[in-house]
Each structure stands twice: as C-alpha cells, then as structure tokens.
Copies of this chain bind each other. A is one copy, B any other.
Amino acid sequence: MSTQAPAPSRREQILKEAARLFAERGFHGVGVDEIGAAVGISGPGLYRHFPGKEAMLAELLVGISGRLLTGGKRRAAEGEGAGCAPAQVLDSLIEGHIDFALDDRPLIILHDRELDRLRDTDRKLVRSLQRQYVELWVEVVRKVYPRLAESEARACVHAVFGLLNSTPHLGRPGALPGRAATAALLHRLALGAFEGAHGVDGSGQAG
C-alpha cells in the first residue's frame, strides 16, 4: 500500500492551502506570506516551488477546468460506449459534477470567481476548457430534451452549474444531514430544472 498518496508533496500542500485562502478572501486579499505560513514556511520560500503568486492560481484553475472536462468526457464516452440512453449519460455528468462540487469546494469557488486575475494566455486556456465542458453538457442535454434550442440549452447548463455550485453557500458542513443526502438532493434539483426548462406545456409565459 501507500502507492497512492505516499506523502503530499510540498507543491501539493501549497496548492491546497492557496486554494483555501484564495477562496476565502480572494486572490488579491491573500499575501504570499500568508500562504507560506499556512504550510509552515515563510513568504519567499514559495518561490522555490512556483515562479510567482499568479502561477499558483493559474495551476489551480487549469487543473480544475481540466479535471472537470476530462471527467465529463470519460463519462460521456463510457455511456455512449455502453449504449446508454442519453438520459443516463446526463445523470452521470450531474453525478460527477456534484462529486466535484462537494469534495473540492474551494476550487469550485475559485473556478468562476478569480478567473479574471489570470494573464491572457492562462485565462484563454481556462476559458477554452470551460467552454468545451459546457458544450459537452449542451450536446447531451439536447439529446435528452430535443425541443430545447441550442442557446436555451446552453443557458440551462450554465444555470444548473450555478445550482450545483451553490454548495459553498450551504452554510458550513452539517447544515444538511449528510453528504449522500445532499448529493441526492442536488441531483433531484438539477434534473427537475432541466425538466422544467423543457416545459411540460411547451409554451413560455407571456412576454
């Protein structure tokens, strides 16, 4: 054993604490000395591991977006390979996103809050990954709910992301019974939202 996570390297330690601090007080609200202190070293010591403060944020954001996209692609491929119905694939995407939102709350916060603090190059990369992830969802959603126009489906996907990413606002842990119950509730909310968008009656309300 111990082949999995033998010891969190200093790098990973720094990234984890930086994520927490950035999420709590914002990128500009946290100093390098604080990040250093959180891992037991002092300020400039961080520069042995990263070229700068922004590089930490960049690595975090690229990592998140990449993992979300990779996970989503895997689930979509598995589903289609096994001949699953689109609805099952959507279910799997939702489940994956919920796992992520519940297990990596600081990253979820950073993900849509601190993107604009990146240099052009990194920001474009992250945006590209995010867009691919959204388009992955849009494709699946449109298979399940063919009556939705593409722009509508995209808006729905963004809205459902907002819904699923609301976990950080659910007070500190313990406001809900447990992780599984929270996950199940979020899952039902997300599915219900798509159903509602699809529209039982089809017609919108008055303009």
Binding site for B on A (CB under 8 A): 24-29, 112-114, 116-117, 151-152, 154-156, 158-166, 169-170, 175-178, 180-182, 184-197, 199, 204-207
Q: Tell me which residues across on chain B come within 8 A of A176, comparing CB atoms.
A: 151-152, 155
Copies per assembly: 2
A207 x B192 contact (CB < 8 A): no
Q: Which of B28, B29, B196, B205 contacts A193 (CB 8 A)?
A: B196
A24 x B197 contact (CB < 8 A): no
Q: Whose C-beta in chain B lies nearest to the C-beta of A177?
A: B151
Q: Tell me which residues across on chain B come within 8 A of A207, comparing CB atoms.
A: 178, 180-181, 184
Q: Whose C-beta in chain B lies nearest to the C-beta of A192?
A: B196
Supply 13 further A-B pairs (C-beta < 8 A) apart from A26-B27, A112-B169, A162-B162.
A24-B116, A28-B28, A156-B185, A159-B186, A160-B189, A162-B163, A162-B169, A181-B207, A184-B207, A189-B196, A190-B193, A193-B193, A195-B196
